[in-house]
Amino acid sequence: MSFSHVTSAEGLRPVSVKEMRRIDRTAIERYKIPGLILMDHAGRAVASVVERFRPRTRKKAVSVFCGGGNNGGDGFAAARYLALQGHRVTVVTAVPLDRTSGDAATELAPLRELKVPLIVFKSSQKLLESLDRPHVVVDALLGTGAQGPLRPPYRELIDLMNGWKCPVVAADVPSGLDADTGEVPETAVRARVTVTMGYPKKGLVARRARRWVGRLLVADIGFPQIASGR
């Protein structure tokens, strides 16, 4: 599987979270691009980056950590693409599955049909007992809108991801990091690679964010250039 529009962030002008929301809204409302399509492209981009990591000679065990919003929907889409490629995928959700709605709920439905294990987080101990040690982890817990101290259970989930010492691919932004400032009020995911959607965010290119962001890639998920106002 490949997704040809995942590129380095070098040379691209960063945008604020407010600008990114405007671009997203313009694409959906003015240019009638369904949000589900943008979400699906985001998941495919993340999955394509996960596939670059070793081991290459066998199918990988991939744990995908998903929140309750659109960032979680990106994670569900990535999980589906990886499962269809034969990888051993497990999805861990921060919220009960019945609290998933909108496009994220649409992305969740195929995972049930594919029999992808879906684990609702209860405690760190129970999760460690349920999961095999993953080769790669996908962080799709919190998106660009998250600011300030972490609410339960996000601190516990972030600590688990960081504790495995395996490569972490963050979808859009490492959970816990402020996408505008690059600050980490409490703690954040230490990503090997961050696949951000559409345009680099200002916080991701801040010097203080480097230890959390890792290598920054930008996925072209289908925003019209004209939607950015450039």
pLDDT at position 4, please?
Answer: 46
Burial readout 16-54 (b: 16 or more C-beta within 10 A, e: otherwise): bbebbeebbebbbeeeebebbebbbbbbbbbbbbbbebe
Rounded distance, CA 50 to CA 168, Å? 9
Give me the residue label for tokens 């029999």.
Answer: 115
Task: List, in sequence order, every residue forming a beta bridge with 168; answer none if it has no partner.
Answer: 137
pLDDT at position 75, please?
Answer: 98
Q: Determine the average pLDDT of the residues in 62-77.
A: 96
Phi, psi of 14 (to 5 degrees): -70, 155
State the pTM of this model.
0.94
pLDDT at position 2, please?
Answer: 44
pLDDT tens readout for residues 98-143: 999 999 999 999 999 999 999 999 998 988 888 888 999 999 999 9
What is the overall mean pLDDT for the chain? 92
Domains of the chain with bracketed CATH: 6-225 (3.40.50.10260)
